[in-house]
């Protein structure tokens, strides 16, 4: 069984992002980029399933600029067998990515698609759900445990107030949460091996997908700085300020 794992190239989570002076977006010039952490968890889970003998091939996929090849090489260093880059300089929004992935699902016919629940740059949390809808596949989001059998997958997911376990028939779409696993450290020998693994490049037009943006970003600004806190003498004073000044009660 094949597992398809989409991965996204994002600004490294350790970098403090800066908003452009014209408020059109985030400045990513000369900024360290890396794989989206949730996608790294997805790759790790797919590789673990392969190591258990439940999966025969792990295919990493990325959509975006040519530099996304670096992200795919990282995925292959973790353990993916081959990679596909859908190369485009266009601004890719969740629906466009979902359509590209749908085209690749039709082509590759994977038994399972595992992807991060969201990207840390736009925090959209939409692509997995949109892909499941477009491909008419069962889905389980925010997974923190995955158990795979011959034709079914059991997914324990985090919900408000507890855990929920779903049984899905394959093929299916799963999005990963932080507690699913801890990705392995990528070693130098595996990085060198990844350079020899197959990496195919296609264009959106090759897949028959229109990736034109449907949404327009009007303005990007930094959050307002928080004001200094104050001390109150007692509970009565606190309640009075919450009621009359903050107006939250």
pLDDT over threshold 90, residue 79: yes
| Rounded Cα gap, residues 142 and 144, in angstroms | 7
| Rounded Cα gap, residues 26 and 36, in angstroms | 16
pLDDT given for residue 24 in this prediction = 85
| 175 within 8 A of 141, measured Cβ to Cβ | yes
More confident residue, 178 or 225: 178
pLDDT given for residue 248 in this prediction = 84
pLDDT given for residue 249 in this prediction = 83
Domain residue ranges in the chain: 2-224
Mind listing the pLDDT tens digit for each residue in 156-215? 998 888 899 999 999 999 999 999 999 999 999 999 999 999 999 999 999 999 999 988
Mind listing the pLDDT tens digit for each residue in 89-145? 999 999 999 999 999 999 999 999 999 999 999 899 999 999 999 999 999 999 999
Pure H helices in 64-187? 68-78, 94-108, 127-135
Q: What is the pTM of this model?
A: 0.85
pLDDT given for residue 192 in this prediction = 94
CATH top-level class for 2-224?
A: alpha beta
The band of 64, judged by pLDDT with boundaries at 50, 70 and 90, is very high
Planar angle of CA 13, 51, 64, nearest 5 degrees: 40
- The two beta strands, 33-35 and 9-11, are antiparallel
Average pLDDT of the chain to the nearest whole number: 93
pLDDT given for residue 23 in this prediction = 87
pLDDT over threshold 90, residue 27: no
Crossing angle between the packed helical segments 68-78 and 37-51, to the nearest 10 degrees: 30
- Cα 3 to its chain centre, rounded Å, is 15
Tell which residue, 188, 41, 175, has the closest CA to residue 117. 175
> Percent of the chain having pLDDT more than 70?
100
pLDDT over threshold 90, residue 17: no
Q: Which two tokens stand for residue 24?
A: 């059109």
């Amino acid at each position: 069984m094949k597992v398809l794992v989409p991965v996204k190239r994002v600004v490294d989570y350790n970098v403090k992002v800066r908003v452009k002076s014209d408020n059109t977006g985030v400045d990513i010039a000369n900024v360290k980029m890396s794989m989206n952490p949730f996608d790294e968890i997805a790759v790790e889970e797919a590789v673990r399933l392969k190591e258990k003998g439940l999966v025969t091939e792990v295919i990493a996929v990325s959509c975006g600029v040519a530099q996304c090849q670096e992200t795919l090489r990282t995925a292959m260093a973790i353990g993916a067998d081959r990679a596909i880059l859908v190369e485009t300089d266009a601004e890719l929004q969740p629906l466009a990515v979902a359509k590209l992935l749908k085209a690749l699902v039709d082509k590759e016919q994977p038994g399972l698609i595992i992807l991060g629940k969201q990207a840390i740059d736009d925090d959209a949390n939409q692509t997995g759900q949109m892909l499941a809808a477009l491909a008419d596949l069962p889905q389980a989001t925010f997974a923190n445990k995955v158990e795979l059998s011959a034709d079914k997958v059991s997914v324990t997911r985090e919900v408000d107030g507890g855990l929920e376990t779903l049984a899905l028939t394959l093929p299916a779409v799963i999005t990963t949460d932080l507690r699913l696993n801890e990705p392995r450290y990528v070693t130098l020998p595996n990085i060198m091996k990844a350079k020899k693994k197959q990496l195919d490049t296609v264009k959106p037009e090759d897949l028959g997908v229109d990736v034109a943006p449907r949404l327009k970003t009007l303005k990007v600004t930094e959050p307002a700085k928080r004001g200094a806190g104050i001390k109150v003498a007692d509970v009565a004073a606190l309640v009075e300020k919450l009621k009359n000044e903050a107006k939250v009660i």
